A and B are shown apart, each in its own frame.
Chain A
């Protein structure tokens, strides 16, 4: 999530109202106010609205929402006459380039900070950690157009930002902090992306680092923006968001020529939307005029086009408008969620529990009748608990998660019983007898199903108790079973039985083996059983 710092003075000047009015309403356009400080507020915006990742963007939206200035903000763009060439060798490396000239900026420490953090937030939200989009800004007056985006040998060197010595690009990837962070994006290519001016001075090694030469300071008046990446739409969105934010701050935007095309245009996109469809989706009565007015409040250009249509101009910075419904959400926000009539739908339907849960509830009821207490262990566990301590072989269908958080959570449970024994360990100091049960999901490869298991521990817990309790459970669930001698090493030989249904083993019961008790550090005997609930007659097949 992007948390944006909003300095009150700057925000008030841009929004043209006081901080209280802004802060009272900012959550209603979709945000969480994280902190209110003496001179600024930290506000979190959603990742679908990167246009709100700067005080300039927030002020633009709030002017609309508060009715201070509604409708489309237009941003005139004139040509800078500057060309930017793109090396065809970049096609498989980092092919997309966006650029703009931003003139007449007046920076102070705060506004430089603001543009830097906008850049970082865009790298995160739009750029996917710079792999999809990376942005560089340069002091335009230190370099000579035209500019060239080229694929260069990694051995070429320049002085990177924050360093005094010339370094090769290979060295930068190894030694520069930014180089180390982002090396993986370019490391494997034979040639690296590089931006140079007409005198062959290096501006930037995207997506890693700019050159020291073009550093932006509070004295910078004119900016060259470069944006490189792998996705045309994402690159263009990033350019539009930065240019319009700078324009909001008072700068003039000029286009550059890339591959014969003037870019950016900062022109809105058009969509024709249906009033009826919007009314139906939101559950409110709208006219073309009222809907257009609500859209203008959200800074869209919007005019009724007949009774059922509104012609919408979508500003170039609104990357999230992919579909008509995205506009309808803005209509709902402008209308106010608190004003929407909230009525449950009227269609008559009948509730129906899932048979798996009905069976689980029956098993719980029977367990409770036998005096067992329910526990709900985690489903992630490890091989040590599931198999090693139980003296059992690892099950074939066990699922290993690929990147476990800890050695405690490496596999998904295939049985419940080991987890109940772990529970007894945890509660060794509590009064005996302890009788615990659990009913829940286990997996066998990609298949999920439910099992039920119970343990009873006290000095007299034995085979007979395990047998009698499992018999009671199976009987209550109408499972018709037979028993044969088991070979399960978790139990004592001669005190263990396999539960057989239709010739197949569906469960086991018995007296836990003392070596298993030792492994779980238990001091009293344990009568235990577990069975597969799929043996319940009529159990649904997933």
Chain B
């Protein structure tokens, strides 16, 4: 049996003598409110120690109108008293009770109007009506009539009769500890040793108090953090760069032709700002126009400086990696970047105009396409995806290119990201003489799978309840 509270014990002790009593009566004896007594009785009732009997009593009460009639008589009674031989209708109309009373008299057939004179009919009497006003009863149809007239109202009163059960009685017989309970252990009690006599309140361990919510990082940030940690463990240097980039670094340095559809206004957020081109841009220009000094043919046509100067919200973090490579041309380079990127997409449940991209690059003597596959396999394995496969793909700035797919139980093969070796058209103009392995993946895709979200927007416009309830530690099975 769950522990009794001090109040339940006091109630039982009183009931031992009273056996059965109303809550107000017990409240008087216990020095508490009847509501509190009922609450204690229910607690004890849950344990089978008392019975709480709810007695509902019906009662008639008078409305303000009814109260007035109690004193003065019903309007019809007042009028009846007023009618004397020779009373005219005009006299009667002056009476304050005329409006209501006259109708009632006519309805009951107690008056007769002849010309201007009003007379009582023989035997006219409101005695019974007055009686039903003073002593209303359910059975009396006149009472019902008075209720309809808004003179009387019915009201329910609830009374709680509390009785001790044999089990309760037995418990009291065993003896109750009626010492004062204390909720908190005071400093005084602790240092004085008084705690030895203190009767600390015992709590019901099955009842959770008001919930506490810890401050914590966003579940999506936690997934980003996990990926960062994996890459740091794998020996990668983290990069950070601006979200505003020159077209030159976002597109041109990556050998994206100036008339490429991805560069159009429909796909990219352009800004009015421009930035001057970096030193050595002529090499990129030559690469686009004729392939520079490589075996490439280039794109042909004329490469325009103005187009490259225009700023955009970066469409990929590759704009950050390529600048890092340009500044760090000596091998080995192993670097990664997680950051927000922007595409001019119509926002819906699976498309956002801004999302996180994770990207890695490796530049070294003698690294190969096979090594790229190895890095990806290792990364996805560490993320918990056991089966990884690769298939040919196309990206404008890599050759060869691939897409990586992972196997998720219950879903099947899911495309996770693209990768490839930077084209020589990309690396040669910035003075890189070794292959650069590059790969990227959409972080939100994994987050959506892991967090079971149906709508990507919830990552950024989150319900606080979702954030509070998502535990920091989640058991990922097979990567999700």
**Can you name the residue of chain B whose Cβ is closest to the Cβ of A49?**
B394
Tell me if B424 and A446 are in contact (CB < 8 A): no
Q: What mask results when residues 122 to 154 of chain A are scored 1 for a CB within 8 Å of chain B, else 0?
A: 000000100010000000000000000000000
Which of B231, B273, B311, B366 sits near A280, CB closer than 8 Å? B366
* Contact A46 to B393, CB < 8 A, known contacts A357-B238, A373-B468, A399-B271: yes
Q: Is the CB of A342 within 8 A of B374?
A: yes
A326 at the interface (CB under 8 A from B): yes
The CA-CA distance from A193 to B69 in the complex, in Å, is: 105
| Complex: A349 Cα to B370 Cα, angstroms | 19
A425 CB to nearest chain B CB (Å): 11
Give the residues in chain A near B241, CB-CB below 8 Å: 448, 542
Which of A329, A344, A406, A409 is within 8 Å of B401, CB to CB?
Answer: A329
Decide if B399 touches A412 in the complex (CB within 8 Å): no
Task: Pick from B313, B344, B368: contact of A412, CB below 8 A.
Answer: B313
CA distance A317 to B308 in the complex (A): 31
Residues A30 and B467 in contact, CB atoms below 8 Å apart: no
**Interface bits A337-358 vs B (CB < 8 Å: 1, else 0):** 1101111110111111110110
Q: Verify if B76 is at the interface (C-beta below 8 Å from A).
A: no
With A342-B373, A374-B221 as known contacts, state yes or no: A322 contacts B298, CB within 8 Å. yes
* Contact across chains for B214 and A325 when beta carbons are under 8 A apart: no
- Report whether B460 and A377 are in contact in the complex, using a CB–CB cutoff of 8 Å: yes
- The answer to whether B460 touches A378 (Cβ under 8 A) is yes
Interface pair B218/A446, CB less than 8 Å apart:
no
Whether A323 and B273, one on each chain, are in contact in the complex, defined by CB atoms closer than 8 angstroms, is no
* A370 interface hit (Cβ, 8 Å): yes
Stretch from B3-11, B129-137, B147-155, B346-354 contacting the other chain? B346-354
Is B39 in the interface zone, CB < 8 Å from A? no
Decide yes or no whether B252 CB sits under 8 A from chain A: no
Identify the closest chain B residue to A45 (Cβ). B394
CB-nearest residue of chain B relative to A125?
B261
Beta-carbon contact of A448 and B242 below 8 Å: yes
Query: Which residue of A128, A337, A351, A361 is within 8 Å of B235 (Cβ)?
Result: A351
Contacts of A447 in B (CB 8 A): 242, 244
Cross-chain contact B460 with A401 (CB below 8 angstroms): no
A445: chain B residues within 8 A (beta carbon): 244, 273
The answer to whether B373 touches A405, judged by C-beta atoms less than 8 angstroms apart, is no
- Pairwise interchain contact B423-A329, C-beta atoms closer than 8 A: no
Interface residues as binary, A106-126 with B (CB distance below 8 Å gives 1, 0 otherwise)? 000000000000000000000
Say whether B476 faces chain A, with CB atoms less than 8 Å apart: no
A338 to B225, CA, bound (A): 30
A485 at the interface (CB under 8 A from B): no
Whether B401 and A441, one on each chain, are in contact in the complex, defined by CB atoms closer than 8 angstroms, is no
A370 vs B216: C-alpha distance when bound (angstroms): 10
- Tell which of A324, A368, A376, A403 touches B216, judged by Cβ atoms closer than 8 Å: A368
Q: Is the CB of A399 within 8 A of B214?
A: no
- A324:B244 contact, CB within 8 angstroms: no
Q: How far is the CA of A57 from the CA of B51 in the complex (A)?
A: 89
Q: Which residues of A contact B366 (CB under 8 A)?
A: 280
A435 at the interface (CB under 8 A from B): yes
- Contact bitstring B369-387, A, C-beta under 8 A = 1, else 0: 1110111111000000000
Asked if A282 and B370 sit within 8 Å, CB to CB, the answer is yes
Within 8 A of A (CB), among B216-256: 216-218, 220-221, 225, 228, 231-244
Query: What B residues does A132 contact at CB under 8 A?
Result: 259
Q: Which residue of B lies closest to A325 (CB)?
A: B399
Q: Does A407 contact B (CB under 8 A)?
A: no
Measured CA separation A340–B371 after assembly (Å): 9
Is A103 interfacial (CB 8 A cutoff)? no
Q: Could you tell me if B259 and A351 are in contact, using CB atoms closer than 8 angstroms?
A: no
Contact of B217 among A350, A374, A423, A446 (CB under 8 A): A374
Interface pair B392/A379, CB less than 8 Å apart: no
Q: How far is the CA of A412 from the CA of B245 in the complex (A)?
A: 13
Between A351, A353, A443, A542, the greatest number of chain B beta carbons within 10 A of the residue's beta carbon is seen for: A351
* Contact assessment for A325 and B371 in the assembled complex, using a CB-CB cutoff below 8 Å: no
Q: Which residues of B contact A379 (CB under 8 A)?
A: 243, 340, 354
A367 CB within 8 Å of chain B: yes
Pick the residue among A47, A340, A352 that contacts B369 (CB under 8 A): A340
One of B215, B244, B423, B435 near A448 (C-beta < 8 A): B244
Check if B79 is an interface residue, CB within 8 A of chain A. no
A202 contacts chain B at the CB level, 8 A cutoff: no
Q: Which residues of the partner chain A approach B297 to less than 8 Å between Cβ atoms? A: 322-323
B464 with A373: CB separation less than 8 A: yes
With an 8 A cutoff between CB atoms, is A364 at the interface?
yes
- Chain B residues 294-333 with CB under 8 Å of chain A are 294-298, 300-301, 311, 313, 331-332
Structural contact, B232 and A448, CB atoms closer than 8 A: no
Nearest B residue (CB) for A337: B390
Residue A468 CB within 8 A of the other chain: no
**Smallest Cβ distance from B209 to chain A, in angstroms?**
14
| A436 CB-CB contact with B under 8 Å | yes
Q: Is A521 an interface residue (CB 8 A)?
A: no
Residues of B with C-beta under 8 A to A495: none
On whether the beta carbons of A399 and B273 are closer than 8 Å, the reply is yes
Decide yes or no whether B105 CB sits under 8 A from chain A. Answer: no
Mark contacts of A362-401 with chain B using CB atoms, 8 A cut-off: 1 yes-contact digit, 0 otherwise: 0010011111111111111000000000000000000111
- Is A323 touching B354 in the complex (CB atoms < 8 A)? no
| Contact between chains at A376 and B460 (CB < 8 Å) | yes
Q: Within 8 Å of chain A (Cβ to Cβ): is B272?
A: yes
Flag if A364 contacts B221 (CB, 8 Å).
yes
- Residues on the B chain within 8 Å of A372, using CB: 215
B164 CB–A CB distance under 8 Å: no
Residues of B within 8 A of A351 (CB): 231-238
Q: How far is the CA of A349 from the CA of B234 in the complex (A)?
A: 8
Report Cα–Cα, A341/B375, bound state, in Å: 11
- Cβ–Cβ contact B400 & A402, under 8 A: no
Identify the stretch in A158-166, A179-187, A210-218, A426-434 within 8 Å (CB) of chain B at 4 or more residues. Answer: A426-434
Given contacts A281-B368, A344-B374, A402-B270, contact A323 B425 (CB under 8 A): yes
A30-B394, A46-B393, A322-B297 as given contacts; A399 in contact with B461, CB under 8 Å: no
> Separation in Å of the B49 CB from the closest CB of chain A?
35
B454 contacts A by Cβ under 8 Å: no
A9 contacts B by Cβ under 8 Å = no
Decide yes or no: A323 and B296 within 8 Å by CB, A351-B236, A373-B213, A441-B243 being known contacts. Answer: yes
Contacting pair B334 A326 (CB below 8 A):
no
Q: Are B265 and A402 in contact (CB under 8 A)?
A: yes
B188 CB-CB contact with A under 8 Å:
no
Q: Does A367 lie within 8 Å of B215, measured CB to CB?
A: yes
Taking the closest CB of chain A, its distance from the CB of B331, in whole angstroms, is: 8
A403 and chain B: residue at smallest CB distance: B265
Q: In the docked arrangement, what's the CA distance between A134 and B389, Å?
A: 39
Which of A283, A325, A357, A412 interacts with B228 by CB under 8 Å?
A357
Residues of A within 8 A of B (CB): 27-30, 46-49, 128, 132, 231-233, 271, 280-284, 322-326, 328-329, 332-333, 337-338, 340-345, 347-354, 356-357, 361, 364, 367-380, 399-406, 409, 412, 423, 426-427, 430-431, 434-437, 441, 443, 445-448, 542
Please give the residue numbers on chain B whose beta carbons come within 8 Å of chain A beta carbons, in ascending order. Answer: 213-218, 220-221, 225, 228, 231-244, 259, 261, 265-266, 269-273, 275, 291, 294-298, 300-301, 311, 313, 331-332, 334, 339-340, 342, 344-347, 352-354, 362, 364, 366-371, 373-378, 389-394, 396, 399-402, 421, 423-425, 435, 459-465, 467-468
Q: Which 8 A-B pairs have the closest CB atoms?
A: A283-B370, A283-B368, A342-B373, A351-B232, A46-B394, A329-B400, A349-B235, A30-B392
5 A-B pairs in the complex with CB atoms less than 8 angstroms apart: A28-B391, A332-B392, A405-B353, A426-B461, A441-B339
Sample of 10 more A-B contacts, CB < 8 Å, known A27-B391, A340-B370, A446-B244: A128-B259, A282-B368, A322-B291, A328-B399, A342-B376, A349-B332, A351-B236, A352-B232, A353-B228, A374-B216
